[in-house]
Amino acid sequence: MEKGTFAAGCFWGVEENFRNLAGVTDTKVGYSGGTKDNATYRDVCSGTTGHAEVVEVTFDPSVLTYKDLVKFFFEIHDPTTLNRQGPDHGDQYRSAIFFHSPEQEAIAREVITELQKETRFQTRPIVTQVVEAKPFWDAEEYHQKYLAKQGLKVCH
């Protein structure tokens, strides 16, 4: 099993999308990319931690490649909006790929290069950050698989 960590706005909907993808064996929502240890939702929402809402995805690379996971990530959010997804805004909602190895970094950058050649990204460039994975802090239990617990498929 391998891990991938992605930020694409509110982690509830992002997790639900990844959770239902063939080859994904587990998902966890949490916070990463900032400076505060053991960050909480309240801390992250204050805008002072530098953390993003992220989804840590555990996947079986014999079923789903990391490249396919990255491509899927770009299908489920708008990578051209800085610190905003839908009605959510702030740096905790930024688009980011937190890579766990040099291979993951290379794949993420390769996919971005490929996508930027597509017509849809020629007027609004991709602003997704590609940064080394930092410590991952689990979100509170009520956030884990939130949409599934509520019987919902999407946030908005």
For the stretch 68-127, pLDDT in tens is 999 999 999 999 999 999 889 999 999 999 999 999 999 999 999 999 998 888 888 999
Q: What's the pTM?
A: 0.95
pLDDT, residue 23, reads: 98
* Rounded Cα distance, 89 and 82, in Å: 9
pLDDT digits (tens, 9 = 90+) for 18-30: 999 999 999 999 9
126 SS3 class: coil
10 in active site: yes
Residue 152 has pLDDT above 90, yes or no: no
Domains, the chain, with CATH or none: 2-150 (3.30.1060.10)
8 A C-beta contact, residue 6 and residue 130: no
Overall average pLDDT of the 13-38 stretch? 97
Q: What is the pLDDT of residue 156?
A: 61
Query: Which of the following is catalytic: 4, 5, 6, 10?
Result: 10
Question: Dihedrals φ, ψ of 85, to 5°?
Answer: -140, 120
Phi, psi of 2 (to 5 degrees): -125, 165
